[in-house]
Amino acid sequence: MTALDVRPAARRGPVARWRILVPAAGLAVIALVSLVGPFFLVDPLDVGAGEPLSGPSGAHLFGVDQYGMDVLSRVVSAGRIDLLLALSASAIALVAGIPLGAFAGYRGGAWDQGLLRVAESFQAFPTMLLAMGVTLALGPSLPNLVAVIAVVNIPLYMRLARSAVIPLREADFVLAARCAGRSTFQIVRQHIVPNIAQVAIAQFSVTCAWAIQVLAGLSFIGIGVRMPTAEWGSMIRQGTDHMVTGQWWLSVFPGLAILLTVLALNQIAAAARRWGGPS
């Protein structure tokens, strides 16, 4: 005998799908343009691309900056760096944080308490401050930036995984797996982690968005990506001096790029969360 599904037919599926597909498509376009765009545009480091500080025109859609470099070309190539750094840092945080948190939550006891304390001590610092401190100490190389962003996010993933795991720990199917003689490691890997993937995806989008902002922020204050490498945050910084004199295109276009990317990522996260936990 089948139980009746009394949900109104057109309430859940289509709306949720639309909410995730639109921002995902937007993000895909941004990623594709950053990836392929540079092959079709002028060299972003070419200081002779156009008349310095000339505004948007047919030849230079986003205008030219104070060094004579094409802004469109720089915005596009900066997308490569920003997305790559954000994705790799978030991926490292996820890959390290989720299993650690899942293990802590599943084992409980001293392991749980110990790992939780370590995570808390990281979270006690304001993240931006921590990132600034580490970059200043170790130098502002790209790997260092990735490492910093990853490290400050690991505790987030740990806590997320831990709180998702605790109800799963007592789930009958996990008890059944124990009855099948599976080891703790096997249970966490095969039963627990896949069942918390949904929350992890949501958090991943949030982290990426956050990482892009932090990266831009660090570059903006001059300890992130250095000139002449194109990066959205440093481009905004380069442009601020000229805002007051009316050359708005230097800062506005990279700013828009950050806005759209972060917006898409956050919308993906919101939709993934709305889709709910493990079905």
Partner 1 sequence: MSGLLIEDLRVTIGTAAGPVHALRGVDLAIPPGTFLGLVGESGSGKSLTASAVLGMLPEAATVDAGRVLLDGADILKASRRELRRIRGSQVAAIFQNPVATLNPLIRVGDQIAELIRIHRGAPRRRAAVEAVDLLAAMGIAEPRRRARQYPHQYSGGMAQRAALARALACSPRLLIADEPTTGLDATVQAEVLALIVDRVRAAGASVLLITHDLAAAAQVCERVAVMHDGAVVEQGPTAQVLTAPRDPYTRSLIDSYVLAVDGDTPVEAR
Partner 2 sequence: MTAPLLQARHLVKRYGRGARSVVAVDGVDFTLHRGEILGIVGESGSGKSTLGRILLKLTAPTSGEVWLDGSRVDRLSERAFRPYRRTIQAVFQQPQAAFDPRWTVRRSIEEFHLLRGEPRSGAAATIEALAREVRLDPALLDRLPGQVSGGQLQRLSIARALAARPALLVLDEPTSALDVSIRAQIVRLLLALRDEERLTYVLISHDMEVIRAMATRVAVMRHGVWVEEGPAERVLGAPAHPYTKKLLAAADAGMDLIRPGRGR
State which residue, 8 or 109, has the beta carbon closest to partner 1: 8
Choose the contact partner of 45 out of partner 2, partner 1, none; CB within 5 to 8 A by kind.
Answer: none
12 binds partner 2 (CB under 8 A): no
Between residue 13 and residue 72, which ones bind partner 1 under the rule CB under 8 A? Answer: 13
279 binds partner 2 (CB under 8 A): yes
State which residue, 11 or 117, has the beta carbon closest to partner 1: 11
Among 137, 181, 244, 246, binds partner 2 (CB under 8 A): 181
Among 42, 45, 177, 260, binds partner 2 (CB under 8 A): 177
166 binds partner 2 (CB under 8 A): no
13 binds partner 2 (CB under 8 A): no
Between residue 117 and residue 146, which ones bind partner 1 under the rule CB under 8 A? Answer: none
Alpha-carbon separation of residue 20 from 30, 208, 256 (angstroms): 16, 16, 21
Among 1, 110, 124, 244, binds partner 2 (CB under 8 A): 1
Choose the contact partner of 178 out of partner 1, partner 2, none; CB within 5 to 8 A by kind.
Answer: partner 2
DSSP collapsed to 3 states, the chain: CCCCCCCCCCCCHHHHHHHHHHHHHHHHHHHHHHHHHHHCCCCCCCCCCCCCCCCCCCCCCCCECCCCCEHHHHHHHHHHHHHHHHHHHHHHHHHHHHHHHHHHHHHCHHHHHHHHHHHHHHHCCCHHHHHHHHHHHHCCCHHHHHHHHHHHHHHHHHHHHHHHHHHHHCCHHHHHHHHCCCCHHHHHHHHHHHHCHHHHHHHHHHHHHHHHHHHHHHHHCCCCCCCCCCCHHHHHHHHHHHHCCCCCHHHHHHHHHHHHHHHHHHHHHHHHHHCCCCC
5 binds partner 2 (CB under 8 A): no
State which residue, 7 or 172, has the beta carbon closest to partner 2: 172
Stretch that binds partner 2, among 30-38, 91-99, 178-186, 245-253 (CB under 8 A): 178-186
Stretch that binds partner 1, among 5-13, 20-28, 198-206, 245-253 (CB under 8 A): 5-13
Among 18, 125, 173, 185, binds partner 2 (CB under 8 A): 173
Among 146, 191, 206, 230, binds partner 2 (CB under 8 A): 191
